[in-house]
Structure 1
Amino acid sequence: MKHFFKSVVLCKYYLMGVVALAAITLQSCSSTSDEKVLYFAHSLPTSHPVHKGILAMQEALKENSGGKLQIKIFPDGQLGSEREAIELLQIGSIAMTKVSASALSNFAPEYQIMVIPYLFRDSDHLFRNLEGEVGKQLLESGTEYLLRGICFYDAGARSFYTKDKPVNSPDDLDGLKLRVQNDQMSVDMANTLGASATPMAFGELYTALQQNVVDGAENNIPSFVSSNHFEVCKYYIFDEHTRVPDVVVIGTKFWDSLSDEEKGWLEEAAEESVVKQKQYWHETVEENMKMLKEEGVEFIYPDQEPFIEKSRPIMERLMQNPKLKPMIEKINSN
């Protein structure tokens, strides 16, 4: 059995190496002496508003640079899962990716604050901080882990959804096995609120719901729809426990290879895409809400105060971290 698991691990890294080599070959073959192409991999479908934001960045960068610096996008997990894309970024096999801020907490501890329940009061409060000093500090915090943030994309509020049981208070979460993202903060969040946190890959969740491995999950409305989880889960609970943005990240290897002018083109394109992506997100949520009602999904709007009170220990614990405390205080006072 020991040799079996060793073989599985070796096989995984062999396959990752093949993917990495393919990506490197693609990247080197796609560039000419007067043109640079940055390979951008992510795991979302092309219908998702975040992918549309990336397309806006791609278009703006091509225009800003006169075609000298371009982005080629690999959506739908073509080069691996979210975590695998981060690892490919770190070893320099691809240039850019899009990841949830919670996933980055496994690499850059400062991102833990993004998964503190109810830290951000609403979307305006979130982006007021992300587009200010706190956001700048976060984007730069991953540099020592070879990951440099470029910008934040709107990913709405994350809420619970369940198959068979409506949830009107934290007490209703007791005994429910709920899928969460594979990071410690997300696990702590669900467990503290009373559920039984079950980390697993997002791509495995639909089958897990069908087979009663889990009773539900938590995510934003567009992901609930694009994953087709609404076909299995008929209760969507707007407890809005976290507002976790997506982060566009570039590997420091590629960032350091860009000239100041090229960095300026990329940052300008990112800023332009953020404005458009927020609009795409808003439009998508409106369309999705209408469709979900037609599909028979019941929306529940619980009193959030009991959820806020029950989750408070998470913020209190992180306030003991001298590195995170100033950031949390700044957000709370903003």
Structure 2
Amino acid sequence: MFKGMIKNVILKSITLLMLSSFLFGCESEQHHKKTIRLAHGLDIQHPVHLALVFMNEELQRLSDGKMDLVIFPSGQLGSEREILELIQIGSMGMTKVSASSLEAFVPEMKVFSLPYLFDDKEHFWHILSGEIGQQLLDAGTPYRVKGLGYFDAGSRSFYTTGNKVTKPDDLAGLKIRVMNSQSAVDMVNTMGGAATPVSWGELYTALQQGIVEGAENNPPSFFYSKHYEVSKYYLLDEHTSIPDVIIIGTHMWNNLSEQQQQWLSQAMSAATEYQKELWAQSTDMALQKVQEAGVQVLTADKSLFQKSVAPLYKKFEQTKFQPLISAIISNKDKP
């Protein structure tokens, strides 16, 4: 019996080893082509996935077929957190994560959760494509992750079921669904609302039944979730802009030649520009569709909302984050 147990353990170990080799192998034996495995949790129709497919095409073109990506979408290989852990132990090459998910490794990423940190899209991309953006990408290397570049994840805005919101005072007492994030809770409460964490999968029903009276997210998410069916108003206040980050394990990056690193970086840059266009198209489409469905899309006076969240900025005074926040706010020169 004991021998049989040992035999089963050995067989399972061999099977897992073979599966791991298939899923996570980094280099093809055929023609020594470098193949990087990339996993993420989004649908294949999502602008991020489409941009990653484009990135792979660019990588193959630049390398003349000597380098490519194998993409595992839709959470096939685990959650965002699980994939991050696979990258850290060297079992996965690359992934897409929200900047907020990287806070555990790069605390400075918390600044993206500050409302109205950026004036507009130009300011946002000016920071990300400059020295500050690069410093944040590199800051995860002690944790075995390196940022390659950023993708647009839009700006989050408020939508409500029965109460029109155009200024912070209109949020008073309203139960607004937020992510299970202390930063999001603090923001809504500071504005005067009643922040109510609800899981994304339960939000439609919560809006429908009046458990919450509103929520906040970007236009594509508002549309694809069908929350517009139960929400009459969408206020474009664009309080936070939290980018997606394409990361690679340092084990993988350090094993690439200088030429391979250059190919990958060039493909990343091209994919960023392509994804910006896809996201803009998706946002315009979403706003058009929800208005056709009867939603009133409103424009916010952002200055009123900015004043309402001033206490949040005071919390960062005399902390290590203050120089970074000040640098972002003051660095508004448009390229």
Task: Give the TM-score range, shorter chain.
Answer: 0.7 to 0.9
1:326 to 317, 323, 327: 323
Equivalence for 1:104: 102
For 1:146, the aligned partner's letter is R
Q: How much identity, in percent, do the aligned residues show?
A: 47
Shift of 1:331: 1.3
Q: Take 1:213 and 1:24, find their aligned partners in 2: how far apart are those partners?
A: 48
Residue range with higher mean Cα deviation, 80-89 or 297-306: 80-89
SS state of the match for residue 308, structure 2?
helix
Q: Does 1:288 align with 2:282?
A: no
Equivalence for 2:28: 31
2:302 to 301, 304, 323: 304
For 1:161, the aligned partner's letter is Y
Shift of 1:96: 1.4
The 8 Å contact of residues 20 and 88 in structure 1, kept in 2 or not, is answered as no
Q: Take 2:161 and 2:16, find their aligned partners in 1: how far apart are those partners?
A: 36
Equivalence for 1:255: 253
Equivalence for 1:130: 128
| 1:44-59 → structure 2 map (5 Å cutoff) | 44-59=42-57
Change (3 A) 1:207 1:306: same
Q: Take 1:233 and 1:82, find their aligned partners in 2: how far apart are those partners?
A: 29
Task: After superposition, give the CA deviation of every residue in 1:270-300 in whole Å (9 maximum; x if it has no partner).
Answer: 0011111111122222222211111112212
The 8 Å contact of residues 103 and 182 in structure 1, kept in 2 or not, is answered as no
Task: After superposition, give the CA deviation of every residue in 1:197-240 in whole Å (9 maximum; x if it has no partner).
Answer: 34455445445444554433221112222333323333211111
Change (3 A) 1:231 1:79: farther
The 8 Å contact of residues 147 and 248 in structure 2, kept in 1 or not, is answered as yes
2:115 to 107, 114, 117: 117
Q: Take 2:247 and 2:61, find their aligned partners in 1: how far apart are those partners?
A: 21
| 1:188-207 → structure 2 map (5 Å cutoff) | 188-207=186-205
Residue range with higher mean Cα deviation, 81-90 or 248-257: 81-90
Q: Take 2:275 and 2:177, find their aligned partners in 1: how far apart are those partners?
A: 27
Structure 1: gaps of 5 or more residues = 1-17
Equivalence for 1:172: 170
Report how many aligned residue pairs link the two structures. Answer: 316
Equivalence for 2:72: 74
SS state of the match for residue 40, structure 1?
strand
Say what the alpha-carbon RMSD is for the aligned residues.
2.6
Shift of 1:111: 0.3
Shift of 1:61: 1.0
Shift of 1:310: 1.3
Shift of 1:88: 3.0
The 8 Å contact of residues 151 and 271 in structure 1, kept in 2 or not, is answered as yes
SS state of the match for residue 318, structure 1?
coil
Compute the TM-score of the two structures, normalised by the length of structure 1: 0.85
Equivalence for 2:215: 217
Q: Take 1:140 and 1:317, find their aligned partners in 2: how far apart are those partners?
A: 26
SS state of the match for residue 106, structure 1?
coil
2:87 to 86, 89, 101: 89
Q: Take 2:229 and 2:27, find their aligned partners in 1: how far apart are those partners?
A: 41
Compute the TM-score of the two structures, normalised by the length of structure 2: 0.85
The 8 Å contact of residues 177 and 197 in structure 2, kept in 1 or not, is answered as yes
Q: Take 2:243 and 2:74, find their aligned partners in 1: how far apart are those partners?
A: 19
Change (3 A) 1:330 1:60: same
Q: Does 1:276 align with 2:274?
A: yes
Shift of 1:161: 1.6
The 8 Å contact of residues 123 and 156 in structure 1, kept in 2 or not, is answered as no
Q: Take 2:143 and 2:212, find their aligned partners in 1: how far apart are those partners?
A: 33
Equivalence for 2:12: none
